[in-house]
Amino acid sequence: MTYAFCVFYRFRLLSPEESEKAREFWKVFSKEDWPQELKIIGDYSFAWGTEWNGFLLIESENAEMFFQFWPRFREKTRWYIENTRTVIGKKRSTDELPI
């Protein structure tokens, strides 16, 4: 079973120096600290039509991995991400399609 997590995020108002620090933090964090079981399918700037600055699209075969990782992620990004909202879905198999 595959789960999808659409994580909308909103940045805090940052100085140019803080913005650069956040960019560098994300480069390192997403490569070195991100669990292999959570695949980033997309990292999208902007979420037009909403109040969010962007969103991540994440997939995992293990929903529990996301729930274990999430508090650690929020603690490490709280200084530059003001708020998040997560929408969770379960991928349908082809025999479940409503055709």
Give the model confidence (pLDDT) of 60-81 as tens digits: 999 999 999 999 999 999 999 9
The CATH number that applies at residue 87 is: 3.30.70.100
Within-domain flag for 98: no
pLDDT of residue 93: 77
- The count of domains in the chain is 1
Q: Which residues of the chain have pLDDT under 70?
A: 95-99
Contact 86, 38 (CB under 8 A): no
Residue 92's pLDDT is: 84
Residue 47's domain comprises 3-91
Q: Does any domain span residue 29?
A: yes
CA–chain centroid gap for 94, Å, is: 26
Q: Give the model's pLDDT for residue 77.
A: 93
Q: How many whole angstroms separate alpha carbon 96 and alpha carbon 46?
A: 32
Query: pTM for this one?
Result: 0.84
- Report the C-alpha gap between 52 and 22 in whole angstroms: 17
Residue 30 has a pLDDT of 87
